[in-house]
Structure 1
Amino acid sequence: MREITQERWTLLREQRPPYEDIYEQAIEDLEAALIGVSDDGRLHLLLAIDVVPHSMPPDLQSLQVRVLEGGQIWLDVSARSHHEELLTLVANKVLHAIRIEGRDPAVSVERIIDDMRAALRPLAPELGATEQIGLFGELWVLSNVMFPTLGPRVCHLWSGPESERHDFVGHGVHVEVKTTTRSEPKHEISRIDQLKPPTDKRLLFVSVMLEKSLGGDETLADRVDEIREKLGSDGHALDVFDSRLAQLGWHEGLRQTGALLRFTFRNVHVFEVTGTFPRLPDNYVPPLGVTGIKYSINVGSLPSLDVSEVQDFLLTA
């Protein structure tokens, strides 16, 4: 893929007729992307889109995103000439996301500009220890338990960021993930109905055990990179995955801080929530005036499902 370079901008400036705009195809085999220089000297990346986005990213320095409507709708990412390097960086990232990863143009522009804004602002940790532990466990399960059976579709089932009752919601099975750094598999249950199987569906409970230490093998960034690599060129799944991460407070700037905890994976067990699984009874009704209940369970003495049984469950998702 031919990259956008300083030399290409210079050549466009030299070739632009007075008082006119000039545009050329941004990369080979992608007619829906153009770069150009307008008569006011502003640099542009034009991306053909089918519908006008519901929202536009706020301007970043002199970088602006606008919609041009006519016979074809274009997303116009532009910058003044003195911010050429910034636009060049954004343009190459966007074109790579569209051409190589198969991502949606409008979503790619918004995500990349948001990532750059996060990298440019003073950074403060947005994920506390509890949030990092829980998210690490969900991502580990997504990548190592569910992805081998469901593939990229698992990103569309990931409902934890939507604050639903369970972390993964499928047609025939729901999955709840709990992660602990304790020495035994004790987990906090935060909702009265969290361990209640949905009507006509089955519920799996995944217990993830981690060790948190300065010498740990991985951080959240490693989990994110692993999943993105597995998703490969499935642009739609990548967009969904990155959107879910953003909802939980993840942004790429966190890699530059010392706020990311280090973990070593210890163990994982999967259970079906049925029979004698420790939980409140399905017909339990809290006393009048009680609006929330938290309780702890220990799954250390329960028989867990083997890999083939888990796969059979997930095939109904």
Structure 2
Amino acid sequence: MTEITQERWARLREQRRPHETIYELAADDYDTELIGVSDDGRLHLLLAIDLAPPSLPPDLQGIQVRILESEQVWIDISSRSHHEELLTLVANKVLYAIRTEGRDPAISVERTIEDVRAALRPLTPDLSASEQIGLFGELWVLSNVLFPTLGPRVCHLWSGPESERHDFVGQGVHVEVKTTTKSEPKHEISRLDQLRAPSGKRLLFISVILEKSLGGDETLADRVDDIREKLGTDGNALDVFDSRLAQLGWHEGLRQTGALLRFTFRNVHVFEVTGSFPRLPDDYVPPLGVTSIKYSINVGSLPSLDVSEVRQILAMV
């Protein structure tokens, strides 16, 4: 039986032209099985079927199972390039079940995914709902607000996992991210100095609003994959990013549990913490014996910065 190997994936990548999707037969004697690399760099195993199954297995460690319909109905098993080894394992197990054991393609895919899921079942605890909400917001901001200006070095500035005062710390600018699933941009401030700009530096406050629902667009796994894809081959930044994730309790086993919440991004606003921004006065001193203070702010009525203003400030990081 012709196996799927990393060398075959590499050869397809080399043969693929920019913005092109390329496929080849998984084996010369089977025209109902294809492997390929799509224009976005994803790796695919396509299996021809007569009818789409009533349900598909949930995503596994970044591996997705979808239905493609054209002149032929296909089961499409795909992953991004950094999950190549796992996709290769799954693809070969599926092809063995179809070719050697004579199993139905759809059933083979479902059973293989479940077998691998069971083998990878995590031994570490799940992230709580509040931890997922907060982490999702930080990752969204890292990818969509900070990365376009700062590039991969933003991973080195991500200080939230170190329990520092602010989530991102640069030489000239600090950034604090707060995320909520409420209908209004109300956020809890958990430290007395959290909305204080360090001496000689500027402080940005980023308010992220999400909707949490079973039909949400993304999970934490999608956010993690998005950033890893953007970091590409910057091994140093990838190592730092993965280390920070681990500090916050992320582990790859979370992908195959039912613990990951689904979110839909609703809105983001960026403010500079200065002037009339709602916060305790910088010179506020709590009464003797008060060791911590938590309070809530609502930024819904404040004017936010536009994209050009944010990028101008971030250029000082």
TM range (shorter): 0.5 to 0.7
Does the 8 Å CA contact 2:188/2:295 hold for their aligned counterparts?
yes
Q: TM-score, normalised by structure 2?
A: 0.63
Q: Structure 1 CA distance, aligned partners of 2:144 and 2:121?
A: 34
Aligned partner of residue 249 in structure 2, secondary structure? coil
Q: Structure 2 CA distance, aligned partners of 1:3 and 1:185?
A: 47
- Describe the superposition over 1:182-204 as per-residue Cα deviations: whole angstroms up to 9, x where unpaired: 00000000000000000100000
Aligned partner of residue 275 in structure 2, secondary structure? coil
- Which residue of structure 2 lines up, in the alignment, with residue 159 of structure 1? 159
- Which residue of structure 2 lines up, in the alignment, with residue 27 of structure 1? none
Q: Structure 1 CA distance, aligned partners of 2:203 and 2:314?
A: 10
- Which residue of structure 2 lines up, in the alignment, with residue 203 of structure 1? 203
Does the 8 Å CA contact 1:123/1:257 hold for their aligned counterparts?
no
Q: Structure 1 CA distance, aligned partners of 2:234 and 2:215?
A: 34
- The 5 Å alignment of 1:65-214 reads 120=120, 122-123=122-123, 125-214=125-214
Distance 1:312 1:256, change over 3 A: same
Q: Which amino acid aligns with 2:250?
A: W
- Which residue of structure 2 lines up, in the alignment, with residue 254 of structure 1? 254
Distance 1:263 1:288, change over 3 A: same
Q: Which amino acid aligns with 1:217?
A: D
Shift of 1:121: 5.6
Q: Structure 1 CA distance, aligned partners of 2:218 and 2:124?
A: 21
- Which residue of structure 2 lines up, in the alignment, with residue 310 of structure 1? 310
Moved over 2 A (4+): 118-126
Q: Structure 2 CA distance, aligned partners of 1:216 and 1:182?
A: 15
- Which residue of structure 2 lines up, in the alignment, with residue 269 of structure 1? 269
Does the 8 Å CA contact 1:119/1:252 hold for their aligned counterparts?
no
- Which residue of structure 2 lines up, in the alignment, with residue 34 of structure 1? none
The answer for unaligned runs of 5 or more in structure 2 is 8-83, 86-115
Shift of 1:125: 4.1
Q: Structure 2 CA distance, aligned partners of 1:253 and 1:175?
A: 30
Q: TM-score, normalised by structure 1?
A: 0.63
- Which residue of structure 2 lines up, in the alignment, with residue 45 of structure 1? none
Does the 8 Å CA contact 2:149/2:311 hold for their aligned counterparts?
yes
Q: Structure 1 CA distance, aligned partners of 2:169 and 2:306?
A: 21
Q: Structure 1 CA distance, aligned partners of 2:254 and 2:266?
A: 24
Aligned partner of residue 145 in structure 2, secondary structure? helix
- Number of aligned residues: 208
Distance 1:264 1:170, change over 3 A: same
Q: Structure 2 CA distance, aligned partners of 1:285 and 1:269?
A: 29
Shift of 1:120: 4.3
Aligned partner of residue 238 in structure 1, secondary structure? helix
Aligned partner of residue 222 in structure 2, secondary structure? helix
Does the 8 Å CA contact 1:139/1:223 hold for their aligned counterparts?
yes
Distance 1:128 1:119, change over 3 A: farther
Shift of 1:126: 2.4
The answer for unaligned runs of 5 or more in structure 1 is 5-91, 94-115
Aligned partner of residue 211 in structure 2, secondary structure? strand
Q: Structure 2 CA distance, aligned partners of 1:244 and 1:181?
A: 24
Does the 8 Å CA contact 2:122/2:254 hold for their aligned counterparts?
no
Q: Structure 2 CA distance, aligned partners of 1:162 and 1:229?
A: 24
Shift of 1:253: 0.4
Q: Structure 2 CA distance, aligned partners of 1:119 and 1:128?
A: 23
Aligned partner of residue 215 in structure 1, secondary structure? coil
Q: Structure 1 CA distance, aligned partners of 2:134 and 2:167?
A: 11
Q: Which amino acid aligns with 2:159?
A: S
Distance 1:201 1:215, change over 3 A: same
Shift of 1:124: 5.5
Does the 8 Å CA contact 1:180/1:208 hold for their aligned counterparts?
yes
Does the 8 Å CA contact 1:149/1:311 hold for their aligned counterparts?
yes
Q: Does 2:202 align with 1:238? A: no
- Describe the superposition over 1:234-271 as per-residue Cα deviations: whole angstroms up to 9, x where unpaired: 00000000000000000100000000000000000000
